[in-house]
Amino acid sequence: MAESVLKLKINGFVRRVAVSDQETLLEVLRYTLGLTGSKQGCDKGDCGACTVLVDGEPVLACLSLAKRNADKEILTIEGLSGPEGPHAVQDAFDNAGAMQCGFCQPGMILSAAALLERDPEPDDEAIRHALSGNLCRCTGYTRIFTAVRQAAGIEADRKGVDPRPAPAPPVDPKLP
C-alpha cells in the first residue's frame, strides 16, 4: 500500500502526517492526530457523527480519503472553541439542553455552525434540512432545533438557566 507525507491544515495549523492511500480523514484525525472529538458511528457515511468542516462545508470524514484533503482548511470540533470560550453554537447546545449522550453532537454542532455561517437567520425548514445528515438517537431533535435558534438569536434563552461556568468560590482573605 502506497504511503505519503501529507500536509493538512487543521484548526488553523499545518500538520504533517504520514498516511496510506486508503486512510480516511477520520482515521487520521482520530488515531494519528488524537483529535477524538470527531466520532465514528457507522464508518460508512450514514450517521454524520464524523462531520467536519472542509473549507467551511460539512464533510463526512469517514468517507473522505485523507490525501484528498491536502491544502484544504479543516475545522474539527476542537477548533470551534477558542481561548475566549465555547463557540456560540456550542454554548447554545449546552444551554438549551440539546445534549444527552453527546456522541452525535460534535458533528451536529459543526453542521449547525456551517448553516449559521451561510444563513444567519434560518427558518425551521432550513434548520431541519441542514441537520438531516446528522442522526441523533437521544433527543428527538426538539432541543437541538431550539439550540440552533438560540445561537442565531431567533429564540430567547430559556429563563432561569444558570450561566456557566459557575463563579469561583468566594475567597475570604481571613481564611487560613
Partner 1 sequence: MSDKKKRDQGGADIVKGKASPIHGVDLPGGDVIGRPLRKADGLDKATGLALYTDDIQFPDMLHAKILRSPLPHARIKSIDYSEALAMDGVVDVMVGSELPIPYCVIPWTRDETALCTDKVRFIGDGVAAVAAVDEATAIEACKRIKVDYEALKPILTIEAAKQPPEDEAIHVGNRRGNQHKYVDLSFGDLDAGFRHSTSIAHDDYYFHGTTHAPIEPHCAIGKPEPGGQLCIISATQVPHYLQRELARVLGMAQQNIRVIQPALGGAFGGKSEPFDLEFVVAHLARKTGRPVKCLYTREEVFYSHRGRHPMAMNFKVGLDDEGKIQAVRSKIDLDGGAYSSFGLVTTYYAGQLLTGPYDFASYGFTSTRYYTNKPCCGPKRGHGSVQPRFAFECALDEAAAGLGLDPMTVRERNTMPRVATTVNGMRVQSNGFLACLQAARKASGWDEKWGKLPRGRGIGVAGSMYISGTNYPVYPNEMPQSGVTVQLDRSGRALVLCGASDIGQGSDSMFTYIVAEELGIEPGHVRIVSSDTDLTPVDLGAYSSRITFMAGNACIDACRRLRKLLLEAAATALGQSAKRLRLAGGYAVAVDDTAVSLPMQEVFRLAEAENGTLSASGWYNTPLLGGEYRGGTIGSSPAYSFTCHVAEVDIDLETGELRVPKVWVAHDCGRALNPVIVEGQMEGSTYMGAAELMMEDQDFYPADHAAPGLHLGPSLLDYPIPTSSEVPEFEALIIESLDPEGPYGAKEAGEGPLHSTIPAIANAIHDAVGIRLKTLPITAAKIWRALQETH
User: For binding to partner 1 (CB under 8 A), which residues are involved?
Assistant: 30-31, 34-44, 46-47, 49, 76-78, 80-81, 86, 90-91, 93-97, 99-106, 109, 127-129, 131-145, 158-162, 164-167, 169-170, 172, 175-176
Q: How far is the first Cα of the chain from the last one, in angstroms, to the nearest whole number?
A: 65
- Residue number with CB closer to partner 1 (6 or 103): 103
CA geometry: angle 96, 149, 63, nearest 5 deg: 90
Closest CA to 8 of 63, 95, 77, 67: 67
Give DSSP secondary structure letters for 6-19.
EEEEETTEEEEEEE
CB of 140 to partner 1, least distance (A): 3
Q: Least separation, in Å, of the C-beta of 28 and partner 1?
A: 14
Q: Which is nearer to partner 1, 71 or 132 (CB)?
A: 132
C-beta of 71 vs 151, nearer to partner 1 = 151
Q: Alpha-carbon distance 119 to 113, whole Å?
A: 10
